[in-house]
Amino acid sequence: MNSPYKALLKPLSVHVVNPRGMKRPIQTFPSVLGAARGLRAFQLNLAGHLQGLACGPIEEHSSLHEVIDARDDRQISEILHRVVHEEIPRVYGKYLDELRAFDVVLNRETRTLVISTEMKPHGAESVSWSFELRFPPARVRPVQKNRPKPTPGPEVLNDPRTAELSRIAHYFYPFGFPLDEDDDQEPEPAYQRTPEFLRWQDAWEKAMAWKEWKTFIRETRADFTGQDFRDATAPYHSACRCCCVYLKRPLPEGGQLITRVAGAVSILAPLYLVYVTTETLRPDKTWTRPQLTFAPSDEAKPYAEKLAQQIEKEFGYRPFPLELADVPLPNLRIGDKEHPTLLEALLATPDHLANLP
């Protein structure tokens, strides 16, 4: 049985603004999925935020998934109040003037929420949206992205490799240029007019013309005869070219376990990464959230080893030192992300690595 809930009984004025004390027009909301901008990008990012998926520039997730497994109506009301009165204003307040409705229809059997919203974005007329969110079983709930990362110890921060890789990152990404200081009247953010950003763009242009990448893809596909092997590069979305081989295994209850053994080759430094993602295609054709690991299973290990050998043979690169992955790079700007890590700067964010085609 479907259960309807109202999170708002009267319109909620959103007073949160950016640090400079100004609202930002919804038309300036950053690009999502490489194409959508403005109001459409906001809609996509809001849905992803509520479901626990990183669609675009804002990676913090809401608590809405807790509604699915809530014990009673009182607990559901508390969760919805927190989402609508605290989390949405905190994350999106500088783009919103008012939340006018936020209705939720819960179907526990299918683990879905149908959201109906009405809001007044800053710089636009009132809009209404409805969308369905499907949540995986409780054991693979979305992980909150706003948990603080552990600070690497002195042995990592003092590692000579840390200084060298940080130097490379600073060569390709501008220092400063915080998101809240972007000028909405300019055709492009100020950081895109820096020498560092131009170097990053030039690196991508060269990487897209790599002859060795074409050779690598051709020879690796021949080595994986009988397997589905693809070029999974998303140009200009990260700092690496990607590929993956697909391993599919039917499950007793129906559906399939999909394992992707992936390789990511940095376009900025002579480094690469081989990793594995797994997700389940359920009998009803819905998917679980992809799980990323850097430790291949027994099934995936031969493919991971072969992929690493092929990358080293063609490019002469060395594996990215995972013990340095979380080294912070304070005040560097990568697109709409500030304060990245070495892994995010020289390869990609974990979310980008996990979300393969």
**Whole-model pTM over 0.95:** no
Encoded tokens for 338: 């500030």
Residue 147 forms part of a structural domain: no
Range of 16-25, 184-193, 224-233 with top mean pLDDT: 224-233
The pLDDT confidence band at residue 33, using thresholds 50, 70 and 90, is low
What DSSP line would sit under 235-273, residue for residue? TTSSSEEEEEEEEEEE-TTSSEEEEEEEEEEESSSSEEE
Number of domains in the chain: 2
Asked if 113 and 224 sit in the same domain, the reply is no
Higher pLDDT pick, 76 / 252: 76
Residue 216 DSSP SS3: helix
Asked if 128 and 217 sit in the same domain, the reply is no
Domain that holds residue 305: 204-354
The answer for 355, left when phi > 0, alpha when psi is -120 to 50, beta otherwise, is: beta
Residue 172 forms part of a structural domain: no
**Closest-CA residue to 217 (of 231, 201, 206):** 231
Please tell me the total number of residues recorded for the chain in this structure. Answer: 357
Residue that is last in its domain, among 107, 123, 140 = 140
Cα separation, 337 vs 314, whole angstroms: 32
Q: How many CB atoms lie within 10 A of CB 131?
A: 15
52 pLDDT more than 80: no
Asked if 223 and 129 sit in the same domain, the reply is no
Work out the average pLDDT over 207-228.
94
Residue 279 forms part of a structural domain: yes
The pLDDT confidence band at residue 231, using thresholds 50, 70 and 90, is very high
Residue 184 forms part of a structural domain: no
The rounded mean pLDDT for the chain is 86
Residue 197 confidence (pLDDT): 93
Percent of the chain residues topping a pLDDT of 90: 49
Asked if 233 and 335 sit in the same domain, the reply is yes
Work out the average pLDDT over 214-232.
93
Residue 29 confidence (pLDDT): 86
Half-sphere exposure of 164 (CA within 13 A, CB side): 8
Residue 154 forms part of a structural domain: no
Asked if 125 and 215 sit in the same domain, the reply is no
275 pLDDT more than 90: yes
Amino acid at 95: Y
